[in-house]
Amino acid sequence: MNNQQHTDIILIGAGIMSATLGTLLKLLNPGYSIRILERLDKAAAESSDAWNNAGTGHSAFCELNYTPQKEDGSIDTSKAVKIASSFEESKQFWSFLIENKLVEVPQNFIRRVPHMSFVWDDAVDYLRARYDTLTRCHLFRDMQYSEDHEQLKQWMPLVMNGRDKSQRVAATRMEIGTDVNFGSLTRCMFEYLQKQENVVMQFNHEVRRLRQDRKRNWHIRVRDIATGERTTYTANFVFIGAGGGALPLLLKAGIPEGKGYGGFPVSGQWLRCKNENVIQQHSAKVYGTASVGSPPMSVPHLDTRWIKGKRELLFGPYAGFTTKFLKEGSILDLVKSIRLSNLWPMVAAGFKNIPLTKYLINQVRLTPEARLEYLTHYVPDARMEDWEMEVAGQRVQVIKKDEKEGGILEFGTEVVSAADGTIASLLGASPGASTAVSIMINLLKRCFPNEFNSPEWQRKLKEIIPSFGESLAENADLLQRLRAHTEAVLQLEQPVAVT
């Protein structure tokens, strides 16, 4: 059966990106009709799920890969400043939802957990330089630094217990760090959307085809996985927010802007602590430095998390190679994504990243003993019986065409949209979820230019995100005022004490 139904907006994928965009659009124009299509049986089951997502609340406080060291020894903080500002925008948006009683109580998805960077030996000089540079910006002014073993033991006893006291170590600490359960947040926003008029959410519906007609409307062929029934929906605007599954759908859309893009899938695993006594000894997110040849998403961290109301402790991620683009995907995903337009960029990027491929293969071959040995760099007294493996989510890193090098592998997120603004897709991974609001604001500006620049939308955006149109990196007073407000609304209590 092939029926056709029209809607203003179709969102493909029920993750944090679609939830954020759908909520923003409905707030800006309540008259929009919206249809959300998800191939699984529930929202936030892939990249946005608590076990699959890093969940740090990426604000560049502790992620060392956001502050690379230049050849002259100086620290490039531009990416860190951008991400920190974007996370503040996200907190403003979430605060608006809570103040207006659009989502559940904030403890369901955000908690105060300090963010720390921890290094040893030669990396200490880098961390001090990073600290000196970052604290010149008011976004990071409250950062603390120490090389003192006793001070560090107070901050992170689990990391320091059993450590050689002669080892040169250093750490930075930001008390205002957070842990965010993006799965819970995503479901809260979809619950809000489903209560609104002209919003339809369909699970177990897989998008099979995308085609644009001469009137610039999109025809989306969808299969009901449960019944096999096929339906075609039409829409004025389509957003592909399907995580690792976004690239194949973008390629099916056939827009010129999508040509040349490929994907490099990376799987992940965590070591999950199952000893409550050990879990209670740590209350922080401690990030280290990535191994040589490893992807930035594989930066090791000892991570306090709150999942389903329970405090958890994870270490990892341990990376691995996969041909799946989604955790619930197919081993043929990578092969099916290859086109003539992206074949050379993928081959060129592959040649350039042979060390990365070797690293991933070695990660797959790690024995339990080798994984434990890696953990002891961060938990010297770690015991095998206290930890178990937990499968994390899939990440598809972006490969894009490059005139000089043929193709390059990028780590981050990128919005690809058609010139006419009728379709857009989000590719890539971290720090995606944490910066979803700023990403979607930029998408609105690109794809809804007339509405975006209208006095009505400008006024509403300023109401939803009070810093809209201003730079938090340049206005210290505005940052201080808005941080105090969002922390009060989000009920960000003091960090949980370690025992």
CB-side neighbour CA atoms (13 Å) of 362: 11
Query: 153-195, pLDDT tens digit by residue?
Result: 999 999 999 999 999 999 999 999 999 989 889 999 999 999 9
Cβ distance 328 to 40 under 8 Å?
yes
| H helices present in 223-332, as ranges | 246-253, 276-279
Task: Indicate the range of 163-167, 211-215, 340-344, 410-414 predicted with least confidence.
Answer: 340-344
Which whole number is the average pLDDT over 28-44? 94
Which pTM value belongs to this model? 0.91
Residue closest to 79 by CA, chosen among 395, 358, 435 = 435
Query: 299-333, pLDDT tens digit by residue?
Result: 789 999 988 888 999 998 877 677 776 767 777 67
* The pair of three-digit structure tokens given for residue 153, joined into one six-digit string: 């033991």
CATH topology of domain 4-489: FAD/NAD(P)-binding domain (3.50.50)
Query: 104-144, pLDDT tens digit by residue?
Result: 766 778 999 999 999 999 999 999 999 999 999 999 999 99
Indicate the Cα dihedral angle 137, 143, 144, 147, nearest 10°.
-70
Give ∠ CA 440-441-444 in degrees, rounded to 5: 85
**383 phi-psi bin (left φ>0, alpha ψ -120 to 50, beta other):** beta
Of 277 and 352, which is predicted with more confidence?
277
List own/partner pairs for 188-191 with CB under 8 A and 24 or more apart. 188/97, 188/103, 188/104, 188/108, 188/109, 189/19, 189/20, 189/22, 189/23, 189/97, 189/103, 190/14, 190/19, 190/22, 190/36, 190/43, 191/103, 191/104
Please list, in sequence order, all residues whose beta carbon lies within 8 angstroms of the beta carbon of residue 256, skipping any fewer than 6 positions away: 418, 419
CA pair distance 121, 88, nearest whole angstrom: 33
Beta bridge partners of 240: 12, 425
Beta bridge partners of 10: 35, 238
- Give the gyration radius of the chain's Cα atoms: 23
